[in-house]
Amino acid sequence: MKKKYTTVLTIAGSDGSGGAGIQADLKTFAALECYGLSVITALTAQNTRGINAIYPVSEAFLIEQFRAIASDIPIDAIKIGMLGSASIIKTVALLLKELQGTPPIILDTIFASSGGTPLLSEEAIQLMKKELFPLATLITPNIPETARLLEMKEAPSTPECIEEAAMKLLENRASSVLVKGGHGVDNNCCDCLLYDNHFFWFSSKKIATHNTHGTGCTLSSAIAAFMARGEKMECAVEKAKAYLNGALQAGAAYRLGSGNGPLHHQYRQWEEGLK
């Protein structure tokens, strides 16, 4: 009997430097033994120092990309990254409703690049909440994104405030929420998952590295990959966190470019090759 690929589709922007976006997603899927598929929302001219230019694709071409894949290849999970505009958000929501079956959908709520370049207008953010939150299995905002989604004057900083914010995101029609704690001020990265009316906390030591480009993309892609392989939500998040920490640790010793470099997505395979 022929084996079946486990597939994960990423809907996101392209990063020619390879650290984030579609490229990071596909590397993560491959590292976690999944077959990666992609629908590109925008082309970017960027490097480790930041984004120089963004060229969104047309809604018509986005539709053609998605339907070409969905009409031929079964999709086991979906990761959504950079969308870039209200019109793209609306189009993606319509396309997701066309899908056969109910693959898990991981929505990485990207509002700006790691260098601070705005990627979504306020109108688009509101549309994301309205159109995509109800379709997503999990949303993965970091602490600043959580504050912006909830229009908070101050970002949540204590465990109690983070849990309260997660519950408020559920009131915004999100099914499950992972509030990422990498922007916290202490030496630990504490992420809060609200799933099935239960809180799960995942804590790890922060890794001293400048190579953090694509961290959010990689985590959400890893969660999608593990869920495509059949893991339950909390186990998928736990394993994705472990993979991310390994990629950060392994990538810390490398230097690529003069800004924030990439993670080492293939560290597991490289380590196996050295044995």
Residues tagged active-site: 180, 212, 214-217
| E-strand stretches of the chain | 7-12, 35-40, 42-47, 50-56, 77-80, 105-107, 138-139, 177-179, 188-195, 198-205
Phi, psi of 25 (to 5 degrees): -60, -50
Query: HSE on the CB side for 10, CA within 13 Å?
Result: 32
Query: Rounded CA gap, 177 and 234, in Å?
Result: 11
Question: Residues 6 or more apart from 79 whose CB is under 8 A from it?
Answer: 8, 9, 10, 11, 12, 25, 105, 106, 108, 220, 221, 223, 224
DSSP per-residue string spanning 180-217: B-TT-SSSEEEEEEEETTEEEEEEEEPP--S--BTHHH
Nearest CA to 243 among 198, 275, 202, 201? 202
215, 19 Cβ separation under 8 angstroms: no
């990627």: which residue's tokens?
A: 119
What the block records as the tokens of 217 is 């993309």
